[in-house]
Chains A and B, each alone.
Chain A
């Protein structure tokens, strides 16, 4: 009897010691995790602040310049920067930092472009199905869409004529299909000169990003304007990339 009590006491002591060890280890791990989380927040905060700084610098310079073509170039870069900034803001708003909903991004982008009131007679029609893509592809896709939408805004509706831009994002099999169409003056109607050069640069970016994303990009003049259809293969938008 006595011997058995002794054993059970030893057991209790051992259990208590183990529990204490587990507790101490958990505390250490939690402290390490907290520190990492704090570091990540700090980094996120610095990235956002730096994006804001770059944007403010460009805005200040754009305002001071009298040359309309310099101003247009700076405005274009500001829009691109803003597209990337929107991606970053969205990525760290959600708990999931691996996946990114492209349609949510388009909603933000359009709200901002439509609200900026550069084109009061322009309307946007968005057909947006949930379209999750890997976070690593988010910036390229965001830039691509931004380029096509702002290109249409800049060139399809000269002299502030009224019009409509359609943005359609949907799944297509395991891949993704993005359509951006306008009912503007078409590619031949562009006034030429510096405007064409700017459009050329925008379309170069579209081509390069398309290559990076292994996308098939079809750009055509339709009866009513210009339509671009981007087909993204599963390997560009699939899980684990």
Chain B
């Protein structure tokens, strides 16, 4: 199992330049999606066969605030002219799509909103994901960003064989 964390307040453009650099769509994303994107980059950038399409990796992202920070940007734009650029990110599951698109992962994608970080719940979600016969690997993340400058962002890359005996860090 691999684990990654992005410290709250870190410079996301700098991280993007050091980890990826070849995906300018990054700059259009909301903070939630940027964090999801960078967590996946951190965990998978040196993976053999990167970007070979695969359907056996699922994506689950959990948070407390969902995409609320971006929702407020969209609401502010409604005062003048509603911004489609903000609107497309007013869904907490868009981050899972952004990760899937970047990495060409075609497995299950889910986004969960829950009151607080709950290690047991996340472990349970992971075990449930592996009930799907085609799922061999899981990108599981807790990304909570109430604003564009403060967040908790951590992720795990879990293989099916590992889940039985492991508890998430």
The answer to whether A and B come from one shared complex is no
